[in-house]
Structure 1
Amino acid sequence: ERQWYLLEQGEVEQVLTQTHLKKSLSWPDGIKCWSVDTEELAEDDPTPLEPVQTSEDLAYVIYTSGSTGLPKGVMIDHRGAVNTINDINQRFEVKPSDRVLALAALNFDLSVYDIFGVLGAGGAIVMPPPEGAKDPACWIELIVAHQVTLWNSVPAVIQMLVEHLLGTSATVVGDLRVVMLSGDWLPVDLPEKIQSLWYNAQVESLGGATEASIWSIGYSLEKVDPNWKSIPYGKPLLNQSFYVLNELMEPRPVWVPGQLYIGGVGLALGYWKNEQKTKASFITHPLTQEPLYKTGDLGRYLPDGNIEFLGREDFQVKINGYRVELGEIEVALKQYPGIKEAIVTTIGDSPQSKRLVAYAVPKEKSVIKDYSLVDGNQTEDKDEVIQPDQELNYIAEQLRKHLVQKLPEYMVPTDYLILEVLPLSANGKVDRKRLPKPQRQTIAETTQHILPQTKTEQQIAAVWAEVLELEAVGIHDNFFAIGGNSLLVIRVHNKLQELLGRELKIVELFTNPTVHSLSQHIAQIYTQEVYIETSKTHGDKPSTKVTNSKKSSNFIKSINQPTISEPSDSPSDLFPCLIPIQPEGNKSPFFCLPPVAGVVFPYFDLASLLGKDRPFYGIQSLGFMENEKLLTSIEEMASYYIKAIRTVQPHGPYYLGGWSLGVLIAFEMARQLEEIGEVTDRLILIDLPPTSTSTLTKLYVGFQFLLTQALPQIWPYVYDYVQLQNQPNVRVLAQDGSPSIQSDNQPQSAGKVLNRINSLIRSGRPLLRVMQGNSQALFRYTPKHYTGKITLLRTSKAWNSNPQDPTLGWSQFSTQEVETHLIPGHHLNLLRQPHVKVLAQTLKNLLK
């Protein structure tokens, strides 16, 4: 929604993007999208273009948070941007041998210098890979390998790197010579830590506003006075000016606080298509007639001529270096149906621990759960009355989902408190000081708060509680949902490595965000056979049963305090491809075959919606583990998977189904079962034509799209899986180091899926290997005739094989009439909310 607004309000005509984003996102009419990862931008004529811009022409428009609820576009001309860039390059003698590690997002104006400043001096930009963008271990590798000399970031980012290096006692740290820090408060002790790692580094504190061409003021940190409460803001940069004025626009004397104004050639041209806001913020000095920008910041002069920054005078805050208007979040909160009032504030004593807290007052005491609002898409009209004891948690959950759709991630609060009324002061204004502070441990206890049970869980939970300043942490609490951020991850990482005496990768903390998942991940890494069975919730005495093989390390023995016992074989032991997503129930099981990516994540919602009385088994492709043979033909897959499902159900009639590539595998399984005298009662093919039709070329294009979409499509299912663990009466069963989550009241993933999830996330190579094998199988396969009944569940936006054939070509491979049902959505979203509800209901009716 925000992106759409920026494109339309900014009158954007052309967009540089990537192929997968170009295809997956919706774009306003009239916009031309260019994919930079294809050859469509190749130059036909290498002759340089004639310069047509002047220094007064617009260089870029960058949007910042707006108090009215809509972001505002800051217009910077070439003169202002070039002035700042030239000043910095001359000040720090930037030359062709310099390299900068570009960590700033492109919608953050620090990236303007990273790109044009360094390239303008003939230097080079070092871009981290997407998976390493938040990983200090990756940063230091790049700094050393590419001889990075320049650092440009908000303080919190380099603090992550410093704490990582100091925590790991690193000896090779590269040779940074200039460290530029801006965008937020600079901790007084940080410069000394930086210079303890890079002895010759010049540390520079820079400041200003987006409305004044990146930076307008700076302070060189040669030595920090231990008595300082904050780092000085500094003095104006070249051709720029800074003033401390009172309400009458008169200069303030030394030590007397006043409002900060910026002048000089760096001033923006104003706000794009917002004359009212421009007039309010860009003013003329009544005496000097100099154009000025009113920053909204407070400061004061120091005796040496430097300025000291004192903070904001309004409700604009800095969160992880991003400037955030609390009013924009409040407006978005009030747009949620049923919310009467909303206030957003911050808590946290330091910039690194600062987080957003949302307070909301509902219009009514009762709440209606409208399914059409949950995921931002219109569905069938269906309401559910929420019981009083569920009300507050439900509202908080939905408010967060609502904001995720409207705001960037850094503007989404981590805490939500639902109040009957907002506290007011004597003059009738909201008294922010009287707003209650969130009690996170209390909130957790009202949901599913399972105390740590093994020694590893206790150690991890203790570290989390210490770092997050919480009284208690449950094993299913998500680190990032209870106040964690990238900087705090580094602290947790260092403490856990020291406590456990084992190396952990930063990315492992991101991909295992709960105490339970991280504990199981550690067990998986350091042992081959671990069996844990736990079924006690908060308030009960835990009982733990752990088996360690002779190969198990002393580390695992010590953390789990095991009692020797041998686990028995299960179908999942014999056939690791068999994932019992929902193994309980008295009805015939439904077996669902994998898509091109080979994983079963897409089926989690579907399995849950079918109900706990319908066993649901996902079949996951082989090849994710090093010792697994990769199957590269549909016939071979079908034969192997038949053996797997017969360990659960020896004889038919069977219920088989699949989506995407799983369609072809399920079809071939039904055909092979028919050959050996077994019956498939329902063969459910979900949205794929047979490859022998004229759609082969289109399928190839579709596969290329899936390849570029694979990882982004998988991560939401991983997150959903972690969230699903947070349920009452959870039983944790782990065999061979691979946990299975089961619940007495809600279907959930089971078997060895977490083992395979972790393998997937740690490296993309197994995923690409499986996809390559599956794609080979897809294009080699030619379906044969099948005498059984086929049921096709297809979307209206199908493969264009033949508009006149609703069966997508399957009718020519069956001797019976193909039963067809339309499902809303398209191929890539029909298994996600809200469309999966329609799919599940249709499937329920078919399996009766």
Structure 2
Amino acid sequence: MHLIYEVTVFTQEKLKNGLAKLISEETKIITLEDVYDFSISQNHTTSTPTVIKLKSENLAYIVYTSGSTGKPKGVLIEHRSVVNQILWLMSSGYLGEDKTIIHKTPIGFDAAQWEMLSISSGTKLVVSNFGVDKNVFDLINKIVSNKVTLLQCVPTLLQALVNKQQFSECTSLTHILCGAESLTKKLVQQCLDILTNCMLVNLYGPAECTCNASFYEVTQANLHVGENVGVPIGIPVDNTKFYILDDSGLPVSDGNIGEICVSGVQIARGYLNQGDLTSEHFIEYPIGDNFEPIRVYRTGDLAYLGSEGVYHFAGRSDTQVKIKGMRVELEEIKVVLESLDVVESAAVLVNEGRYGRKSLAVCIQINPNKNIFQEKINRDELVSFFKQKLSELIPDYMVPSVFVFVDSMPHTVNGKIDMRKIKTLIDERNVEELIAPRNSTEEAILEIWESALGIEAISVTDDFFNLGGDSLSAVDMILSINARFNTKLPLHIIFTAPKIEKIAGIIDRGLTEKSSRLVCLQPSGTKPPIFCWPGLGGYPINLKVLAEKMTSERPFYGIQAFGINEDEIPYSSLEEMVSADIAEIRKIQKEGPYYFLGYSFGCNLAFEAAFQLEEMGEKVKQIVLLAPGMLKGLPTTNLSDEYDNKELITLLFTVFSRNVDDPDLHECLETSCDETSFVKFVCQKYSISNPELVKRISKVVIESRRISRERNRETQKSITTPTYIFSALNDEFSVFEKNIDCFRGGREIIKLNVAHFDFLMEPGVNNLVSLIAKHVPSL
């Protein structure tokens, strides 16, 4: 209302007084009785009203958007747009003299307009009682008793209908038109199984495009078109055209995702009294046949044109978020969840609660008719079930970390899921899960965690890695705890005790864990373990995601470089380094066959370990080398190990940033002139409280760099162990790829379209693991 300069409300006399209490004194109220009295006073005795001649571009109505993507906006729809919509509905066979539609949508929503105006086509209009869509039994009775042929509803309401046995009595329905939310193939199948002679139509269209801009008629024959679990949004309605454009306003190639921009007679005039917003969303682009400008509405929705010639919805540009550096589409997670039989409805949003960092949260309503749980299970078991199911269908970085379960999903007045209420439920869950320190030990560890992670409001039951902890912050945190309590907790304790309460319990009970440079990243399995060497820097926690993705039949150990722990001095030769590693490995597995992996610089160590064990007469079953080449773009001409060498600074900084294109590299090069200044810069950037840790890691890198140069000059060593090399995108060729004579037992090179650092992160690690399973089946 604040966007309207002068408002007049048209109502009935009996509602006038109550309405006056709700609106400002400046707002005019006119009743039907006022109009009648005025007509009498003007001596209008004829019953024939004066007809004003309308033009197609005259305004038909103003409808306000729901505000789900921002503040509500008054959308100006012209008569020609409404007429085109009705004519399309008639030509498609949805409206006509032999059709009956039920009007149930509140008048404030755009879908209500074509429901009411359907009478212009000769369609019989059944006006339902207000709120009939909130009571599915009343709605079913209305459909059956009036022999309704066409029902328009959101998927949420359709799901509620198919869950009722009485829905099978709605045999008069020939068409169900669904819109406003994503429609899953699971829901369509459920409906078609009940009403075998009914056609489902998936509708897409923002209010700015006059109700429905595209449609897809779903049948048993075309239900499974495309790989998505969601139903396509189809093709544009008559006199409407879609353009899929990139961020520059240029058309993308078929199959590529871009923004849906709609042109044609149905797009709105603009927004009421919001010229700037109208100019932002209603734009002329030179995308015509001869590059002539075409006026389009930028929807903010994403889609692509499939090979079958229909458009597929790909979410909203403003619901794409970055979680742990990866782009996530919230709608995709929702659709996948709702494709599960056990889920009746789901809502996904970004949780920015007490962690202060973005994470994914989901609210789930279990389908009571498809409850697969034979016995009542607790919430933790439910969470584990859904995390497992989702991990089978989507990448791990898309699996929500916060779960809320409800008996009934909250809805807005137009039947959509009420995301504001969902957010409130999530926020309440965040508060419930916060458990404060219960003793001085937990309180001290909490302070260390807050410093290491850079966040507040941590619960003593929170998992370190779920809070965004990484390899560097984990090492810093454990060393800080050891300094605070004068303990010698090994670095791998973060895997056995990833919560504050567990670490505090170990310290308070005076328990000790045997120190080892072999970190068990995945303990399950009865077959011989996998031993993996990390890259430059030598800390194996970076291998965590890879370890969790590999087979559960073999334990997975990451081998930490000698020199990371206090009082350790890095070895000066590759042979010494590996000999010490083999001694650690034999504490866990006394004899072969051994299974080795190496990543980046760790490939040198894995190869050397296989060589030394073969010299001892031991059996190494297989060796897998991951990204053995040098990153393209890293300079390698200056061999100096002094901190005035910009090439060395670049390499050291890349080890900590894990990104060769990090924008802070330039500042690091400008400010780092010696070890002290470099260590200070890294500690400030990554909130590391222990500068000695940065110094030790840097020394390991410098020594490893020197050893790597010597290894690249070395060609005389060879092994009989079968070797598999997985090369990273754009990496320089390593000595292992150049010299086939190193591998008397055979060598296979598999090239990946995955960058060097992405080998160990989602989603690149998924591609890597699937190829390892394909080419190295014994792993």
Taking structure 2 as the reference length, the TM-score comes to 0.41
TM-score by length of structure 1 reads: 0.38
The structure with the larger Rg is 2
Of structures 1 and 2, the one with the larger relative CO (CA 8 A, separation 6+) is: 1
